[in-house]
């Protein structure tokens, strides 16, 4: 082997993981470029009219009106766009979402590196975690094609989880609060944090106050423009109960029920979800489990999954947190089972295609719901098994 050839091969071997990250990043950008000009029905029916109304009311002054259902921080991003005449508004929103997806993928990789004890192995699987999250079809379709913002709050949650793993609890709750200020669905992860608090006792309960504090701060731009406190801080109340559908294109337990009993099943669903969390928490407290990094991560995934599968009025997009946390958990701790996260991702992709392209496989949603519920059940059982092994001093 020639000297120059040896140097090149040595350089590639040394920096292979960085090269892998770069190629995955470029591939993700190429795939996203295909969807930047795609106009979704959500953009036509909501995001574009919101922009037009904000622009007609001089940007931020439009925050005082009651025409939107998203919380104030995201509406501020729309308001900013109204001040730039030549700005491609749809591209602007999609770029913001893509940037959030990149942050989410990067912190997924960083968390994987942090969790793996063997740092050489950590580099490899950190790169794989980044690539899988960044190149996931639901990730690509959510922002670049759909123009949705689900990865904004998901990215902040991933940063929060990273901070929790580093035991930087104040920072963790600040980022969780920011996530909540962007989307109500950030609370899907909250039960895992509550259980971690009671089991670890590593931080004061006052850290949870950062969540409502960030929410209150997030509403200030609208209040400063003259919107009432009730209308500003009551947006999430309107969001949580008002569509009249038990399941909004997500294959969950409500695929086996009908919307005719909406009011009854809505109340039943919320109560059942709370009961499930109470049972899980009670089991953890009764057995006096100690929560380590692995248990915390799978509890975060399970918490998001329970909310998606048992709460009423869930959209298909709300499963992204469950899917991405499942990927991260299986990549780090049980790689033979990563296919389970892939199945969740595949089912979600089908539901995305229904919204974006009219792909009609709704007759199969009950089957998809059973698969989703079985995978969630497996992960709950996995949580219990890992907890028992941890308590018994057995390597999980």
Domain membership flag for residue 1: no
Position 141 scores a pLDDT of 97
Domain limits for position 270? 35-234+243-392
Mean pLDDT by 10 residues, the chain (396 residues): 75 83 96 95 94 92 92 96 94 97 97 84 91 98 95 98 97 98 96 94 94 97 95 86 82 91 89 94 82 94 97 94 98 95 97 91 93 97 85 64
Alpha-carbon distance 369 to 367, whole Å? 5
> Under a CB-based contact definition with an 8 Å cutoff, are residues 153 and 183 in contact?
yes
Using DSSP's 3-state secondary structure scheme, residue 78 falls into helix
* Residue 42 tokens, joined: 């959500």
Domain membership flag for residue 367: yes
Alpha-carbon distance 336 to 220, whole Å? 47
Per DSSP bridges, beta strands 314-315 and 247-248 are parallel
Strand partners, 379: none
- E-only strand ranges, 210-320: 247-248, 314-315
Domain membership flag for residue 28: no
Domain membership flag for residue 228: yes
Backbone angle region of 93, left / alpha / beta, with phi > 0 → left and psi within -120 to 50 → alpha: alpha
Domain membership flag for residue 20: no
Alpha-carbon distance 159 to 314, whole Å? 24
DSSP states of 343-388 as a string?
HHHHHHHHHHHHHHH----GGGHHHHHHHHHHHHHHHHHHHHHHHH
> Under a CB-based contact definition with an 8 Å cutoff, are residues 331 and 310 in contact?
no
Nearest C-alpha neighbor of 376 from the set 273, 292, 294: 273
Domain membership flag for residue 152: yes
Number of separate domains in the chain: 1
Domain membership flag for residue 10: no
Position 138 scores a pLDDT of 97
Task: Work out the number of other CB atoms within 10 angstroms of the CB of residue 328.
Answer: 28
Q: Which residues contact 390 (CB under 8 A, 6 or more apart)?
A: 289, 290, 292, 295, 396
Alpha-carbon distance 74 to 85, whole Å? 19
Alpha-carbon distance 215 to 196, whole Å? 22
Domain membership flag for residue 173: yes
Instruction: Report DSSP state, residue 248.
Output: E
Alpha-carbon distance 239 to 242, whole Å? 7
DSSP states of 46-57 as a string?
IIHHHHHHHHHT
């Amino acid at each position: 082997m020639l000297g120059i050839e040896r140097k090149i091969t040595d350089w590639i071997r040394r920096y292979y993981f960085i090269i892998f990250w770069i190629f995955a990043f470029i591939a993700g950008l190429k795939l996203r470029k295909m969807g930047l000009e795609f106009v979704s029905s959500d953009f036509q029916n909501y995001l574009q009219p919101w922009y037009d109304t904000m622009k007609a009311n001089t940007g931020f002054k439009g925050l005082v009106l009651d025409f939107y259902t998203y919380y104030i921080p995201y509406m501020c991003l729309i308001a900013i766009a109204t001040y730039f005449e030549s700005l491609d508004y749809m591209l602007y929103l999609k770029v913001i979402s893509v940037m959030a997806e990149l942050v989410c993928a990067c912190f997924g990789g960083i968390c994987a590196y942090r969790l793996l004890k063997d740092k050489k192995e950590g580099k490899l699987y950190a790169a794989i975690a980044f690539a899988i999250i960044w190149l996931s079809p639901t990730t690509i379709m959510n922002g670049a094609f759909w123009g949705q913002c689900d990865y904004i709050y998901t990215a902040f949650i991933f940063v929060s989880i990273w901070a929790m793993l580093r035991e930087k609890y104040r920072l963790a709750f600040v980022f969780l609060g920011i996530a909540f200020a962007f989307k109500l669905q950030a609370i899907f992860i909250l039960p895992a944090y509550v259980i971690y608090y009671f089991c670890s006792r590593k931080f004061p309960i006052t850290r949870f106050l950062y969540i409502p504090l960030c929410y209150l701060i997030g509403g200030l731009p609208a209040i400063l423009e003259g919107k009432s406190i009730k209308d500003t801080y009551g947006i999430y109340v309107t969001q949580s109960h008002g569509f009249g559908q038990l399941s909004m294109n997500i294959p969950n337990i409500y695929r086996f029920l009908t919307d005719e009993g909406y009011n009854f099943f809505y109340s039943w669903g919320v109560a059942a979800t709370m009961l499930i969390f109470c049972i899980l928490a009670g089991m953890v407290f009764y057995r006096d489990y100690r929560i380590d990094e692995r248990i915390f991560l799978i509890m975060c995934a399970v918490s998001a999954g329970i909310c998606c599968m048992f709460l009423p009025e869930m959209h298909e997009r709300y499963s992204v947190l469950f899917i991405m946390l499942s990927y991260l958990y299986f990549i780090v701790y049980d790689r033979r089972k990563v296919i389970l996260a892939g199945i969740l991702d595949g089912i979600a992709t089908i539901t995305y295609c229904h919204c974006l392209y009219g792909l009609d496989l709704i007759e199969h949603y009950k089957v998809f719901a059973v698969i989703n519920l079985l995978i969630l059940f497996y992960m709950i059982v996995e949580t219990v098994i890992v907890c028992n092994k941890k308590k018994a001093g057995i390597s999980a």
